[in-house]
Copies of this chain bind each other. A is one copy, B any other.
Amino acid sequence: MGEKRTPSGFLLKQRAFLKLYLITLTEQERLYGLKILDLLRQEFKPYGYRPNHSEVYKALHDLIEDGILQQVKRKKEGMKYQEVVYYRFADGGYEKAKRYKRQLKAELDRCAALIRKAIEDNFS
Bound: A57/B52 CA distance, A: 32
Task: Work out how many copies of this chain go into the complex.
Answer: 2
Which of B20, B50, B51, B119 sits near A118, CB closer than 8 Å?
Answer: B20
**Most chain-B Cβ atoms within 10 A of its Cβ — which of A20, A47, A119?**
A47
A-B contact pairs, 30 of them (CB 8 A): A8-B14, A8-B49, A8-B50, A8-B51, A8-B52, A8-B55, A9-B48, A9-B49, A10-B14, A11-B12, A17-B118, A21-B118, A21-B122, A23-B122, A24-B121, A43-B121, A44-B114, A47-B110, A47-B114, A47-B117, A101-B122, A101-B123, A105-B119, A105-B123, A108-B115, A109-B119, A111-B111, A111-B115, A112-B115, A115-B115
